[in-house]
Structure 1
Amino acid sequence: MGKIFGIMVLLGVPLSVAGSVLHWSSILMFGIYCLTIIALSSYMGRATESLAIVAGPRIGGLLNATFGNAVELIISIFALKEGLVEVVLASLTGSVLGNLLLVAGLSFFLGGVKYKRQTFNVHDARHNSGLLMFAVIVAFVIPEIFAMNMNDTKTISLSIGVSIILIVLYLAALFFKLVTHRGVYVSQDENVEADHEEPEWSRKKAIGILFAATIAVAYVSEGLVHTFEAVGESFGWSELFIGVIIVAIVGNAAEHASAILMAMKNKMDVAVEIAIGSTLQIAMFVAPLLVLLSLLFVEPMPLVFTIPELVSMVTAVFLAIVISNDGETNWFEGLTLLAAYFIMGIGFYLL
Structure 2
Amino acid sequence: MAPPPPPTKPIPSVQQTPLTSASGPSPPPISSNSNPNTAPTTEKPPPATTSPSAASLSLSLPTHNHPTKSRFTVRPTGESGRTGFNPKRFSKIILRSSNPASRAVNVLWPVVPVAIAIRYALPEQKLAIFILHYLAMVPCANLLGFAGQELARKVPHVIGVLTETTLGSLVEIIMFLVLILRDDDGIDYIQVIKAAILGSILATMLLCLGLCFVVGGLKRSESTFSEAVSEAGSGLLLTAGFGLAIPTVFTHSLGDRLSAEDLKSKALDISRSTAILLIIAYLVYVFFQSQTHHGIYNDIFIEEELRDTDRHKELELRRLTFTEVVVALVISIGLVTLIAINLVDKIHFLVEKRHVSDAFVGLIMLPLVEKAAEHLTAVDEAWDDQMNFALSHVLGATLQTALFNGPFVVIVGWGLGKDMGLNFEVFDLAVLLLAILTVGNFLRDQKSNYLEGVLCVLIYFAIAVAALYYPNPEHGGSDHGGPSAPVDGHH
TM-score by length of 2: 0.67
Post-superposition offset of 1:343: 1.2
Q: Which position in structure 1 is the counterpart of 2:263?
A: 151
Post-superposition offset of 1:56: 5.5
Q: Identical aligned pairs, as a percentage?
A: 26
**Matching residue within 130, 134, 139 for 2:243:** 139
Letter in structure 2 aligned against 1:174: V
Letter in structure 2 aligned against 1:27: L
**2:423 counterpart of 1:280:** no
**Matching residue within 175, 180, 187 for 2:287:** 175
Q: Would you say the 8 A contact 1:68–1:252 is kept in 2?
A: yes
Distance 2:432 2:468 in 1: 16
Post-superposition offset of 1:345: 1.1
Post-superposition offset of 1:7: 4.7
Letter in structure 1 aligned against 2:161: G
Q: Would you say the 8 A contact 1:58–1:273 is kept in 2?
A: no
Q: Would you say the 8 A contact 1:112–1:329 is kept in 2?
A: yes
Q: Which position in structure 1 is the counterpart of 2:341?
A: 222
**CA displacement 1:109-151 (0-9 Å, x = unmatched):** 0121122221222112101111111111x21111112233352
Q: Which position in structure 2 is the counterpart of 1:269?
A: 388
**2:128 counterpart of 1:28:** yes
1:183 is paired with a residue whose SS is helix
Distance 1:188 1:299 in 2: 43
Q: Which position in structure 2 is the counterpart of 1:78?
A: 178
Cα distance, 1:207–1:325 mapped onto 2, change above 3 Å: farther
Q: Would you say the 8 A contact 1:160–1:292 is kept in 2?
A: yes
Post-superposition offset of 1:15: 3.0
Cα distance, 1:291–1:225 mapped onto 2, change above 3 Å: same
Post-superposition offset of 1:17: 4.6
CA RMSD of aligned residues (A): 2.2
**CA displacement 1:242-300 (0-9 Å, x = unmatched):** 00000010111111111111111111111111111111000000000000111243532
With 119-128 and 272-281 compared, the bigger mean Cα shift is at 119-128
Q: Which position in structure 2 is the counterpart of 1:118?
A: 223
**Matching residue within 149, 152, 158 for 1:49:** 149
- Higher relative contact order structure (alpha carbons within 8 Å, sequence separation ≥ 6): 1
TM-score by length of 1: 0.92
Cα distance, 1:128–1:208 mapped onto 2, change above 3 Å: same
Q: Which position in structure 1 is the counterpart of 2:258?
A: none
- Paired residues, number: 350
Letter in structure 1 aligned against 2:362: G
Q: Would you say the 8 A contact 2:111–2:135 is kept in 1?
A: no
**Matching residue within 125, 128, 135 for 2:233:** 128
Distance 2:104 2:455 in 1: 31
Post-superposition offset of 1:21: 5.5
Structure 2 segments unaligned to the other structure (5+ residues): 1-99, 255-261, 471-491
Distance 2:418 2:300 in 1: 50
Letter in structure 2 aligned against 1:334: G
Distance 1:300 1:183 in 2: 42
Letter in structure 1 aligned against 2:127: I
Q: Which position in structure 2 is the counterpart of 1:235?
A: 354
**Map of 1:199-214 to 2, 5 A cutoff?**
200-204=318-322, 205-214=324-333
Q: Would you say the 8 A contact 1:61–1:271 is kept in 2?
A: no
Q: Would you say the 8 A contact 1:262–1:268 is kept in 2?
A: yes
Structure 1 segments unaligned to the other structure (5+ residues): none
Cα distance, 1:186–1:347 mapped onto 2, change above 3 Å: same
Distance 1:193 1:171 in 2: 26
Distance 1:318 1:247 in 2: 24
Cα distance, 1:146–1:40 mapped onto 2, change above 3 Å: same
1:235 is paired with a residue whose SS is coil
